[in-house]
């Protein structure tokens, strides 16, 4: 990360964590479970005092809980221990913050300390989700969508910002949904693969099964409005074999970060997709390049079940 400012949110990690807290705070969980869910999303920073983001994690959490009128004795105690023990100053110094800036940061932390000490010890009611957000994709589902210059329709554009009559498609992209899950049982995320090449027209089942090959995995979310805006069409749902998925798409990771930060899968649905080398973190902490088998067809992913 590196320290590049005196403010509590002067790092990408702190900004991402703020978004995570905002997402998790929508869940109908009590305070202890909220803290546990956020810690699970950033386990290394939350649990490892030697991690460079450890002090930032607990200070941001304390700041966000105070601003959102959520009280947690655990969060308050952690933040006070970090401030009073000089642990944040020690870490920021290691990361390169100069003495003058350390003093300015200390003043900001003193203000945070006063706020969390004055915070009521009972949380205020907050608006939460009434149930899990719905899935829009089926596992094994193949979806077609119009593309221009390899890009799908930008789902974030409103009708006033996007003139569909002037946007002429140059073909179709195809996406195969590999897995799906809900972060904290409420926030959906998807793992998918896009076709290696665009198609001029919607393929029939024979071509879909045996000719289309699928690229490296992508992650993201998709809500019903985005599904409609991108003009996605389901072409079929195929019974993917888990063992074959694990073979052709090794080292798939949970998409929790995409769910809590609401990062749309539309950002990765260009054709052809990004096929640069990917890496995974081994149990010993080292990064290793993922070696993918030749890109599969759906027939190779389902075996004789199709």
Radius of gyration of the chain (CA): 23
**Quick one: 171 and 94 in the same domain?**
no
Question: Taking a C-beta distance cutoff of 8 angstroms, is the pair 64, 18 a contact?
Answer: yes
What are the φ and ψ backbone dihedral angles of 138, each rounded to 5 degrees? -95, 145
State which residues form the domain around 298: 141-305
pLDDT bracket for residue 3 (50, 70, 90): very low
Tokens (6 digits) for 14: 């702190």
Please report whether residue 3 resides in a domain.
no
C-beta neighbour count of 304 within 10 angstroms: 6
**Quick one: 150 and 235 in the same domain?**
yes
Between the CA of residue 31 and those of 21, 132, 137, 228, what are the distances in Å? 12, 19, 31, 36
DSSP label of 68? T
* pLDDT beyond 70 at 306: no
C-alpha to C-alpha distance for 104 and 89, rounded to whole angstroms: 11
**Quick one: 246 and 104 in the same domain?**
no
Helices and strands (H, E) in the chain, number of each type:
12, 8
Among 118, 150, 174, residue at a domain's last position: 118
**Quick one: 96 and 220 in the same domain?**
no
- CB under 8 Å to 54, separation ≥6 — which residues? 45, 46, 48, 91
Tens-place pLDDT, residues 83-106: 999 999 999 999 888 999 999 999
Task: Specify the pTM.
Answer: 0.81
Please report whether residue 123 resides in a domain.
no
Tens-place pLDDT, residues 131-161: 999 999 999 999 999 999 999 999 999 888 9
**Quick one: 71 and 166 in the same domain?**
no
Tokens (6 digits) for 299: 């027939």
Tens-place pLDDT, residues 41-82: 888 999 999 999 999 999 999 999 999 999 999 999 999 999
Which pLDDT belongs to residue 304?
Answer: 60
**Quick one: 64 and 109 in the same domain?**
yes
Domains: count for the chain: 2
DSSP annotation string for 249-260 = STT----HHHHH
């Amino acid at each position: 990360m590196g320290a590049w400012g005196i403010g509590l949110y002067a790092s990408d990690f702190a900004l991402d964590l703020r978004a995570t807290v905002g997402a998790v705070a929508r869940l109908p969980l009590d305070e202890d479970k909220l803290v546990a869910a956020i810690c699970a999303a950033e386990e290394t920073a939350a649990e490892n005092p030697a991690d460079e983001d450890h002090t930032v994690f607990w200070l941001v959490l304390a700041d966000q809980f105070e601003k959102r009128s959520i009280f947690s004795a655990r969060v308050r105690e952690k933040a006070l221990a970090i401030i009073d023990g000089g642990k944040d100053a020690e870490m920021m110094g290691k990361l390169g913050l100069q003495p003058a800036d350390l003093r300015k940061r200390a003043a900001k932390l003193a203000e945070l300390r006063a706020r969390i000490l004055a915070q009521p010890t009972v949380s205020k009611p907050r608006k939460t989700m009434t149930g899990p957000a719905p899935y829009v994709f089926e596992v094994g589902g193949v979806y077609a969508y119009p593309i221009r210059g390899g890009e799908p329709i930008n789902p974030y554009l409103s009708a006033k910002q996007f003139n569909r009559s002037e946007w002429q498609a140059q073909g179709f992209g195809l996406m195969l949904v590999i897995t799906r899950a809900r972060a904290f049982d409420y926030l959906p995320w998807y793992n998918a693969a896009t076709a290696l090449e665009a198609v001029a027209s919607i393929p029939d089942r024979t071509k879909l099964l045996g000719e289309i090959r699928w690229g490296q995995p992508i992650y993201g979310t998709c809500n019903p409005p985005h599904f409609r805006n991108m003009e996605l069409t389901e072409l079929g749902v195929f019974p993917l074999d888990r063992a074959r998925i694990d073979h052709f798409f090794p080292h798939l990771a949970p998409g929790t970060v995409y769910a809590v930060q609401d990062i749309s899968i539309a950002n990765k649905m260009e054709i052809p997709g990004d096929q640069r080398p990917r890496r995974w973190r081994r149990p010993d902490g080292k990064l290793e390049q993922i070696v993918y088998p030749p890109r599969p067809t759906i027939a190779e992913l389902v075996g004789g079940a199709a």
